[in-house]
Structure 1
Amino acid sequence: MEILQRGGVVALPTETVYGLAANAEDELAVRRVFAIKGRPATHPLIVHLAGVEALPDWASYIPEQARRLAEAFWPGPLTLVLPRTPRATDAVTGGQDTVALRVPSHPVALAVLRALGGGLAAPSANRFGRVSPTTAEHVRQDLGSEVDLILDGGPCTVGVESTIVDLSSGPPTILRPGGLAAEELERVLGCPVPVRTASTVRVSGSLASHYAPRVGVVLVEPSEAIPRAEALRSQGLRVGVLGPVNLTLPRDLPRFDIPEDPAGAARLLYLRLREADEAGLDMLIACLPPAQGLGMAVRDRLARAAAPRPPEA
């Protein structure tokens, strides 16, 4: 706790991915998070809170739908975008009039937040645009000694980032699919909650290229995996396949299995992308899951992993 209070940066586990946490009200500490990640200053951070009772400290207006979602899903993998109070600084919000807020459910993260008595700005603990970490070892591999402390809370149970819902103006919309399915949101609110592909509100993980491994990623339906892999192998490329465990593949084709159920696929997705990097592949053929439940989040992460990447700085 002393590390955070004196402006340090701590990597800690959440149920979604490991976060790179700093006191959200310490502007110098927040800017250090941006520097460690190599993250653009205009790309806002999510403020993590200890409980729903802290919501009025950070949000100047809380519509009834936001309260219902917070009561139903916090602690958990849901982020709410709301009009900010002065407590949310430009350093955290990227200069916007809104702030992204959530209450994580991991006991380690909650214990730190309760001891701090404030908010933590905590993006994923990895280099900007790369694959998010779901174990403490992933953080060590990515950031090493640049972090003051790494708290090991075991593997993340959700495995993809939170679902971001914009309630700052107008009907609720999803700005980033994540660890809470749209169907669950709609069940509580009793209305459709669509995914908005374009928004004036900037949020974490909204760039076209994001969550990207070093290996090139090609998206296919499962039935297309073998023909696409063989076509690329005929060009002399080292190729592997990311797909469901029941997918039949040639024995000499490296495979990176994920469970058939969407929640299981989400939990292991980033681990498998990292394993594909470690295998030294040129291309990874990634099978798209059905667009249902957490399958939406998996498809979103794979689409961003496969998008054209900005040139290296």
Structure 2
Amino acid sequence: MLVRLFEDNPNDREIRKIVELLRNGGVIIYPTDTIYAIGCDINSVKAVQRVSAIRGVKAEKANFSMICKDLGNIAAYAKVSNEEFRLMKQYLPGPYTFVLPATSKLPNVLMNRRKTIGIRIPKNFIVQAIVEELGGPLLTTSVKATEGEVEEYITDPELIHEKYNRLVDLVIDGGYGNNIPSTVIDCTGDEIVVTRQGLGEL
């Protein structure tokens, strides 16, 4: 199924339908402020395993990230120092992924060997509305073009739908996406390090 939503004013009724699908273990593809992403409710083990299968990895090795509603939502799932909180407050919402030590409240299916989790708060009203209605974080992993495919598979929602419609329950068409991923900032060591330079500038 392909659903069209407008980023500046997403339809409330459609948002509620999408969230009902997520609560029932659905997997969706949705726009962010960078690349289109595959996601599900982080508390649905079967859905997380489906996303892992789509990406061709085991959940515990996938290093998935999650989208939170706001900074207040993060502390339940990740340990944040005062310095890191100030940095996140400065740059979020925006095209950044902050990698932080995970807390014991993170669902086991998402706990990788490093016991870390990537945190995102994208500047996109569609995904913000979904997370707000869901009342909890949304798993996120970028839709990537496989080798030999043109870049449009990342940016064009209709082409994404053609490729993934048998693998996911819903694709949200929020207009053309970006083809540059988020900037990844690792906050798990002694120093804060940019491990991937993406769309966001520090």
- Give the TM-score normalised by structure 2: 0.81
Query: Does 1:52 find its partner at 2:52?
Result: no
8 A contact 2:52–2:62 mirrored in 1? no
Q: 1:71 to 1:47 in 2, by over 3 A?
A: same
Distance 1:21 1:91 in 2: 14
Aligned residue for 2:141, secondary structure, equals coil
User: What is the alpha-carbon root mean square deviation over aligned residues?
Assistant: 1.9
8 A contact 2:63–2:112 mirrored in 1? yes
1:109-156 CA distance string (max 9 Å, x none) = 100000001011111134677766123123213312211011111112
Counterpart in the other structure of 2:192: 172
The residue type paired with residue 170 of structure 1 is: D
Aligned residue for 1:72, secondary structure, equals helix
Distance 2:71 2:133 in 1: 16
Distance 2:47 2:113 in 1: 17
Number of residue equivalences: 180
In the alignment, which of 29, 33, 41 is matched to residue 47 of structure 2? 29
1:252-293 CA distance string (max 9 Å, x none) = xxxxxxxxxxxxxxxxxxxxxxxxxxxxxxxxxxxxxxxxxx
Gaps of 5+ in 2: 1-18
Runs of 4+ with deviation above 3 angstroms: 126-132
Alpha-carbon distance, 1:87 to partner: 2.5
Gaps of 5+ in 1: 186-313
1:17-61 CA distance string (max 9 Å, x none) = 1111111122211110011222343121011111111111111x2
The structure with higher relative contact order (CA 8 Å, sep 6+) is: 2
Counterpart in the other structure of 1:84: 102
- Give the TM-score normalised by structure 1: 0.54
1:139-288 matched pairs, under 5 angstroms: 139-156=160-177, 158-181=178-201, 185=202
8 A contact 1:37–1:127 mirrored in 2? no
Higher deviation after alignment, 123-132 or 82-91: 123-132
1:75-99 CA distance string (max 9 Å, x none) = 1111111111123234324333111
Aligned residue for 1:82, secondary structure, equals strand
Between structure 1 and structure 2, the one with the greater Rg is 1
Counterpart in the other structure of 1:67: 85
Counterpart in the other structure of 1:296: none
Aligned residue for 1:175, secondary structure, equals strand
Identity %: 28
